[in-house]
Amino acid sequence: MGLRWKSGLWLGALFALAMVFALLVGRVALDAFRDHYGAAFARNHALLQAQKLTTLLTRELSLSQRLAELGSIQRFLREGTGADAAFADLEQFRRAFVDQSVFLIVDASGDYYFSDGKEPLDVARPSYRLSAEAAKDQWYFATLREGRPFALNVNVDYELEVTKVWFNVLVRENDGERVLGLAGTGLDLRRFLAEFAASNSSGVTNFIIDGKGAILAHPDPALIEFAALTKAEPERTLQRLVDSDAEREGLRDRLAALRAAPRDGATHALHLQGAPRILGIAYIPELDWYTVTAVDLGAASVIDERLVWSIGAGGLVLLLVFATAVTFGVDRFILRPLQQLTDSTRRIAAGDYGQRLASPRRDELGELTRAFDGMAREVQSYTGELERRVAQRTRDLEEARDRIAAAHRQIQDSIRYASLIQEAMLPRRDLALHFPAHHFVLWQPRDMVGGDCFVLRAAEGGLLLGVIDCAGHGVPGAIMTMVAHAAFDIAVQEVGLADPATVLRRMDAAARALLPTLDLDQPLATNMDVGLCHLDATRGRLTFAGARMSLFRCGGERCEEIAGGRRSLGERREAHWENVVLAAEPGHTYYLATDGFLDQGGGAHGYGYGKRRFAALLGETAALPVADQEAALRRALDEYRGARPQRDDITVLGFRIPDRTTPAGPLSGD
């Protein structure tokens, strides 16, 4: 009898256990019931929360509107008279409000009066005064711009040191045209959350959003968008808690449809903060608010769990019966013969290829045993050949590894030599000769070599120094610095030192002549940012010209930027550079910097350092000895950058004109 026939007999005997399929169908049906009743639960719960919210807010809002209509309040806001009557009415309304607090704002003066019963109101002593320039007071001016009769806002009042849901009602003249101020009350945020956002049901989260999606109330205060009224684009929104763009778009459509027909509420299934949720949503037209109930069907008690346990217990019994029967049959007819086959194959796997398999059985397992014996013979033959090939390939890989290591060492040695050559080109000795103890250079290539360099040439009557930022970094950038040096030498030899703008124009022409025009699919960047300063000690003046590079001058804590031309050397469009002549004032410190420092990302959001922050840093460090300024700038840059990588080559050249500068003659090789 074959193995297939034996298996067929046992499967026929176990056919009665097909009721397991019924359990699977029941599970699917149970999930469908859970989804249906969970959605109904979420919608009804959201509608209930909306009704509760409307009940409380309607009372507080009605009292606030009645307060805004009082004649004593309007007279005080309009004329500044009748403070006793107005404050007496304020005290009566304060006691009627749930939060026992009341506020009044005089639009003409910006005076903000607030009372929570701890201290009496005094017309001469407002709580504080609003300012149109203060960010913390923008909620008031946003309310005036909206022009709605009332508005609700969740906000932190930093002056009063309280966080409330504020009821803001405009106080207008009887004709309704002129706005006199604002009146209303506040509801403590913790109490508001306890009544409307908290939930005693497991897996149920209640929160409130406004028409823009901003979260106004949530059990987690970190998700609440405070002062949402002042923000055109709120940050803490329900949409940002949704995972995918498609689900966010579906949620916007559902909210828009509910706003058009808010009667019966709505439900929506999506993933909220990475977890599947059913949302029940109700809309409150009077406030342009939505109450939202998020239900986790896996945690919420939507259906009777006892029924689930009963079904599971029955299914478990059937599964045990089925498992017992299948185990007995498989062990009797399949596992025992296979175990014998497995023992023999293990010995073959351990390397005993002389092991031979034989079976007297005439079924499929017998055929499998004999086939495996034939395969073992083939494996024994192939293993010897494979070991020989593996040994040969291993030798080939070792040789390739050695060649790669040698090539890597050669490349590293070449880069180190290039670094020595580039360092030798920098005029550090010349700077030390002409500005002893009055200069520093922060030169920090991104790689071992870079595309930044600085230059200095001296002649009778003055000297010319500057900083050059070539396109690219690493080896390409370093090669570009050699082109820049050559162009600078050509320009200085032909036009002299005294006119930096003319030097820039001659450098531009020389660089274009030195670099061939290549017909490439993608053009290579060969532009250069340059800043040059000519110091004329005899006349006591400093002449600056820059190609997309600025000069920073600091005297005391004040630091100003002298901007260079907008275009770099080597650009396609025609460029024009002009000289800026400054008085060479002793005690002032001058700085030339490439964009590597200004563009370095860092801080909390990874933004570039920027010119404004850089100028402020120079103003803070300019009073230090020049020798200490490099360490101060490097330390500030490292603190801002943090763990982020260096984006570009960084060069900052700083120098201070001594009280009496006597320029040296031309240096050797100039």
Mean pLDDT within 146-170: 77
463-494 tens-digit pLDDT = 999 999 998 888 889 999 999 999 999 999 99
Mean pLDDT within 56-79: 87
251-261 tens-digit pLDDT = 888 888 888 88
146-155, 354-363, 535-544: the lowest-pLDDT one = 354-363
One-letter amino acid at 326 equals: V
| Residue given tokens 């296979």 in the structure block | 338
Q: What is the pLDDT of residue 567?
A: 93
Residue 226 pLDDT greater than 80, yes or no: no
587-623 tens-digit pLDDT = 899 999 999 999 999 999 999 999 999 999 999 999 8
One-letter amino acid at 75 equals: R
539: Cβ contacts below 8 Å, ≥ 6 apart: none
244: Cβ contacts below 8 Å, ≥ 6 apart: 271
Distance between CA atoms of 339 and 346, rounded to whole angstroms?
10
275-308 tens-digit pLDDT = 888 888 988 876 678 888 888 877 665 555 566 5
Q: What is the pLDDT of residue 661?
A: 44
Residue 546 pLDDT greater than 60, yes or no: yes
Q: Is 361 exposed, middle or buried (0-12, 13-18, 19+ CB in 10 A)?
A: middle
490-532 tens-digit pLDDT = 999 999 999 999 999 999 999 998 887 644 455 667 899 999 9
pLDDT interval class at 360 (50, 70, 90): confident
- What does the DSSP assignment read for 80-135? S--HHHHHHHHHHHHHHSTTS-EEEEETTT-EEEEE-SSS---TT--SEE--TT-G
One-letter amino acid at 288 equals: D
Mean pLDDT within 80-84: 88
Residue 665 pLDDT greater than 60, yes or no: no
Please report, for residues 73, 110, 597, the alpha-carbon distance to residue 126 in angstroms, rounded to integers and kept in the order given.
15, 10, 48
pLDDT interval class at 368 (50, 70, 90): confident
329-338, 371-380, 552-561, 610-619: the lowest-pLDDT one = 329-338
Long-range contacts, 317-322 (Cβ 8 Å, 24+): 318/17, 318/19, 318/20, 318/23, 319/20, 321/17, 322/14, 322/17, 322/20
Distance between CA atoms of 451 and 511, rounded to whole angstroms?
15
More confident residue, 225 or 451: 451
Q: What is the pLDDT of residue 670?
A: 34
Q: What is the pLDDT of residue 7?
A: 60
The sign one gets for the Cα dihedral 156, 158, 160, 161 is positive
Q: What is the pLDDT of residue 123?
A: 81
371-425 tens-digit pLDDT = 777 777 777 778 778 888 898 898 999 988 989 988 888 888 888 888 888 888 9
Mean pLDDT within 546-571: 92
Residue 350 pLDDT greater than 60, yes or no: yes
Distance between CA atoms of 185 and 153, rounded to whole angstroms?
11
Distance between CA atoms of 554 and 544, rounded to whole angstroms?
15
Residue 668 pLDDT greater than 50, yes or no: no
Q: What is the mean pLDDT of the chain?
A: 83
Q: What letter would DSSP give residue 331?
A: I
CB atoms within 10 A of CB 637: 21
Give me the domains of the chain, ranges plus CATH numbers.
1-303 (3.30.450.20), 427-516+524-656 (3.60.40.10)
Please report, for residues 171, 201, 404, 463, the alpha-carbon distance to residue 29 in angstroms, rounded to integers and kept in the order given.
58, 24, 64, 90
- Structural element, H or E, at residue 469: strand 462-470
Q: What is the pLDDT of residue 589?
A: 93
Nearest to 280 by CA among 270, 289, 291, 272: 291
Q: Partners of 155 in the beta sheet?
A: 164
CB atoms within 10 A of CB 515: 14
